[in-house]
Amino acid sequence: MSRTRPRFSRAAVLEGARRSLPIQVAVAPFGLVCGVSAQAQGLSLAEATLMSGLVYAGSAQLLVLSHWSSPAPVLAAALATFVVNLRMALMGPVLGPWLDRLRGWRLWASLFVMADQNWAMSVTQMQSGRWDAGFLFGSGALMWVFWVASTAAGHLLGATMRPPPGHPLFFTALAVFVAILVSMWRDKRDVVPWVVAASASVLLARLLPGTSWYILLGALSGSAAGVWRDRRRGPA
């Protein structure tokens, strides 16, 4: 069957929003924690809300907030956000049959609100033969609204609770990355790059405490170890 140009209809936008409602149950608590963390680091309600609205990257936001200081570590924060969100460079091409045919605000708005959850839903839609790319935007736009709103609510909650430093709530950032890591495990071949990445990250974190350079070193060293592993195995 030949592929037709994907549409971007209002019906698909609304369907995407409707079908994404269940995953908002998972997004809201995550946003609450992000808001509490932002309040604990001294960000105002407006700053925390604006951060979630413009950055819109939960794992990256939590990572940056866990290393927040005064003055703000702009370079380190930008680097950490870039490394954590590199996965988007792999996710986007999967939806190429949809995205490559969009133009203007439809393309850029869809990319902006694309997250892990609505990306997975959209892949399922595309694989089932549906070619209306409005689904991606609709599901992502609603998630963005929930994320910003729950972050603001979390900031207000944090102002009431005022959890002390070291509270288990601030373990969330690490827990998120551990959960992502578990979902990426394939088989024992992953042991070598994972160990190399972890060792390099721990070493640099001890040598340069309070910075985020260990994230970049861990990513690069783990990737290099993975390339070495694959070349050693040779072609299948």
pLDDT digits (tens, 9 = 90+) for 6-34: 688 999 999 999 999 988 887 888 888 88
> Tokens representing 229?
């592993």
- CB count within 10 Å of CB 164 equals 9
Query: In the predicted model, what is the mean pLDDT of residues 162-190?
Result: 68
Distance CA 225, CA 193 (A): 5
- CB count within 10 Å of CB 92 equals 15
pLDDT at 79: 76
Amino acid at 81: T
Distance CA 155, CA 34 (A): 8
pLDDT at 155 over 80: yes
Is-contact 169 36, C-beta < 8 A? Answer: yes
Amino acid at 50: L
Q: What is the mean pLDDT of the chain?
A: 83
User: What's the pLDDT tens digit per position in 42-60?
Assistant: 899 999 999 999 989 887 8
Q: pLDDT over 90 for what percent of the chain?
A: 27
pLDDT at 132 over 80: yes
Q: Specify which of 67-71, 147-151, 210-214 reaches the highest per-range mean pLDDT.
A: 147-151
Distance CA 68, CA 219 (A): 21
